Structure 1
Amino acid sequence: MSKLLYIQILRACAALAIAIHHAQFDAGAIAARLGGPFQPLDRIPWAAGVDVFFVISGFIIVYSSQTLFGSPGAGRVFLMRRLGRVVPLYWTVTSLYLAVALVLPGVLNSEILEPGFILASYLFIPLGRPDGAVQPLYSLGWTLNYEMYFYVLFALTLAWPKRTSIGMLIGVLLAATVVGSVVSLPQPLDFWTGPIILEFAFGVALAHLKSQGLVLPRGVRAAFAIGGLGLLLAGANLSMPRPVAYGVPAALFVAAAALGADRVRPETWLVRMGNALGDASYALYLVHPFVIRAGREVVLRTGLGAVIGPWGYVALVLAGAVLASLMIFRWYERPMTEWLRRRSEPGRLKLA
């Protein structure tokens, strides 16, 4: 069982928060169709699950790459592993979304279906849409555009020893943010210099502290978790930059989850479920919009919405999204990732 059980649980919570955020939109539409009230839990910044993901990504990428720093060809090995992990499922959901758009052309603006834009979406290149949003064809992929950018930066620093690599990586992220804040840049440079990239730096710094042997007492980690929650709720109601309002609380959550003593937990039901949901969190993030929209159509067409109500709908689609993500991870995502890794890295040590 994973030594980073709490990071696994935090990944699952982040994905669930984003799913709850999106499910409430459709719950409101259902309530409006049925003529009933619906008050979303909008005081909780569910969208901050993305920021938690970014800090976790910065942490995990550095923490799991200890043997790669300073190794010949490490950058290429790392990128191949990341591509094998991220690309198959993302390209699959993007293709499914594109197929729906082609079958039902009224769903999307025809300009969005321009071939160059579609190609950029598959290649993780951020471009502006006709409505001004810098998002790919499958809009959730905007986070993966940041992830892939971070992976490339990290791969470029892997040729150096760990301390130098980490210093360079954090320095580049800081410098890019400063440049983006003072200079008006075209896309995709404007996207790649957005302040949200600092959240990767938070995770990188935490991974370095852990690798140096920092272990926080349980009471301190509990205070970090509680303080992070308080800051998150407060930041949602104040006008602050996202890395401060959401990124700092996310970093406190990750510190609380990661900076305890390393130990393997007994194989209990809770540990297995935490690991399973953490492993499936990427699938949950990418697949939940399909389940939410399908669930909306089912409850409206069958009359079930009048029986279970908006919050019953939210519970139903969340359960469906979790089940779908567990199945997709087990029978598609993990086998595909392992197959690609065997093909691209024969005889090499697997990345944790």
Structure 2
Amino acid sequence: MRALLAGCGARHGRPVIFFLLQVLRAAAALMVVWHHARHEAGLLAERGFGQAPAPETLVPWWGGVDLFFVISGFVIVHTGVRLAGRPGGRARFLAHRIARVVPLYWLVSLVFLALALARPDLLGDAAALLGDPAALVASFLFWPLARPDGTVQPLYGLGWTLNYEAFFYAVFAAGLGFGRRGAVAWLCGGLMLLVAVGALVPGLPVPLRFWTDPIVLEFVAGAGLALAYREGFRPGLPLRVGLTVLGGVGLVLAARVLAGQGGADGFLRPLLVGGPAALLVAAALGPTRDAAQVARLPVPVRGLVGLGDASYALYLVHPFALRLVREGLLRLGLAPAVQPWGSMVLMLAGSVAAALVVHRLVEAPLTRILRARLDPRGLQNRVRAALAPVPPGGRAD
């Protein structure tokens, strides 16, 4: 993911890296993992092993998703807008997005499907999707469908965020023919119009109701920051510190306002959580480094930058790791001794370890291979090579 966070320019011929955004990506993923680890610790408590963690009052840990959405809005617009108005720009943008998002998500979804077929009794309401081929196909194609209980989630529940991401990519790609500023105006105007339609028109079909949720305004916030950055916005250290403090305080206040609710609906979510997330992303838009300079950063910072690279893997694989650690604690008889905070720390550590392995051995190679296969320029070169006449006495390379 580091390449996506590289600036459009270069320092001494080397791509620059928004290393603070990488740190923020790691923080967002860790927030989501911690939120779900709290849930797993609560399940252990329900089975008589220790106490459940106290309600979330520090920050809304589930707000890591909102932080992801704002970062995504910035990254996609900042890196993708250079394709605006170029021949084949839409195809290249979508090819890179497919290569980045699809392989690991499909692989994880297939693993989940295999487990679901083996033990459907563990799925709860999601088990109803197993007998609905259309719902299974929709789960893999990022198309929002409602479960029997009314929640709009694919088979692998975490995919609801990717349904929003895929829609965001499609809307942005559609505007790439309008030039750089036109593409951003199309994106922001289109998403805001959709939110207005969702607020004013009742009874929309499920996909439209899903895509018109005010949470998509967090992509708009990120896109606005990308446009501001391209126009010269470079916050200095005092402003970055101030934005960080305001963003942190905002998340703390959001946790207090939403205490015990486990989430926020409608405009409350982008207002109470998306707003502070946007302040934190703005604070991360200061310094950039090239790869050699990142290698000289303090070890903890380098570690978070590396975890930022693996944040997508961490987001997708952590439910498996959490349950594996939970069951390990139960089978080893350690749950009573470590509950609740020790179990949560172990779950977090196990999730990070699993993500780093999956990122290095699975995600990164699959992304490189599929990007090379799907990139229109590479595809054109392969077609030309295949159609080229074979030289006398030899073969075409």
Q: Normalised by the size of structure 2, how large is the TM-score?
A: 0.84
Structure 1 unmatched ranges of 5 or more:
none
RMSD after superposition: 1.7
Q: Distance in 2 between matches of 1:287 and 1:41?
A: 25
Counterparts of 1:138-287 in structure 2, within 5 Å, are 138-184=156-202, 185-238=204-257, 241-258=268-285, 260-264=286-290, 265-268=293-296, 269-287=299-317
State whether structure 2 residue 71 is matched by structure 1 residue 77. Answer: no
* Partner residue in 1 for 2:318: 288
Deviating more after overlay: 124-133 vs 263-272: 263-272
* Partner residue in 2 for 1:19: 33
C-alpha distance after superposition, 1:131-179 (max 9, x if no partner): 1100100000000000000000000001121011111110001100000
Q: Distance in 1 between matches of 2:294 and 2:149?
A: 51
State whether structure 2 residue 68 is matched by structure 1 residue 53. Answer: yes
Is residue 92–residue 376 contact of structure 2 (8 Å, CA) maintained in 1?
no
Indicate how the Cα distance of structure 1 residues 236 and 270 shifts in structure 2: closer, same or farther if over 3 A, else same.
closer
Q: Which amino acid aligns with 2:372?
A: R
Q: Distance in 2 between matches of 1:274 and 1:12?
A: 6
Shift of 1:33: 2.3
C-alpha distance after superposition, 1:49-97 (max 9, x if no partner): 0000000000000111243111112111111110110001101111111
C-alpha distance after superposition, 1:204-263 (max 9, x if no partner): 0000111111111111111111111111121233376111011100100100011x1434
Is residue 18–residue 287 contact of structure 2 (8 Å, CA) maintained in 1?
no
Counterparts of 1:76-95 in structure 2, within 5 Å, are 76-95=91-110
C-alpha distance after superposition, 1:256-305 (max 9, x if no partner): 011x1434334133443132100100000010000111111111121011
Shift of 1:32: 3.1
Percent sequence identity over matched residues? 46
Indicate how the Cα distance of structure 1 residues 41 and 6 shifts in structure 2: closer, same or farther if over 3 A, else same.
farther
Instruction: Return the match for 1:305 from 327, 331, 335.
Output: 335
Is residue 191–residue 220 contact of structure 2 (8 Å, CA) maintained in 1?
yes
Paired residue secondary structure (1:317): helix
Shift of 1:343: 1.1
C-alpha distance after superposition, 1:92-145 (max 9, x if no partner): 111111111100121234422111111100000001001110010000000000
Instruction: Return the match for 2:80 from 51, 60, 65.
Output: 65
Shift of 1:339: 0.4
Deviating more after overlay: 40-49 vs 325-334: 40-49
Q: Distance in 1 between matches of 2:72 and 2:273?
A: 15
Q: Distance in 2 between matches of 1:144 and 1:262?
A: 28
Is residue 2–residue 275 contact of structure 1 (8 Å, CA) maintained in 2?
no
* Partner residue in 2 for 1:118: 136
Q: Distance in 2 between matches of 1:105 and 1:200?
A: 35
Paired residue secondary structure (1:236): helix
C-alpha distance after superposition, 1:285-340 (max 9, x if no partner): 01000011111111112101122222111111111110111111111101100001
Shift of 1:199: 0.3
Deviating more after overlay: 214-223 vs 141-150: 214-223
Shift of 1:347: 4.8
Q: Which amino acid aligns with 1:333?
A: E
Counterparts of 1:132-143 in structure 2, within 5 Å, are 132-143=150-161
Q: Normalised by the size of structure 1, how large is the TM-score?
A: 0.95
Shift of 1:35: 4.7
Paired residue secondary structure (2:24): helix
Structure 2 unmatched ranges of 5 or more:
1-14, 259-266, 379-397
Paired residue secondary structure (1:288): helix
Q: Which amino acid aligns with 2:148?
A: P
Q: Distance in 1 between matches of 2:25 and 2:246?
A: 19
Is residue 5–residue 274 contact of structure 1 (8 Å, CA) maintained in 2?
no
> How many pairs does the alignment contain?
348
Paired residue secondary structure (2:147): coil
Q: Distance in 2 between matches of 1:261 and 1:39?
A: 37
Structure exhibiting the larger radius of gyration computed from Cα positions: 2
* Partner residue in 2 for 1:318: 348
Instruction: Return the match for 1:127 from 145, 161, 164.
Output: 145
Runs of at least 4 residues off by over 6 Å: none
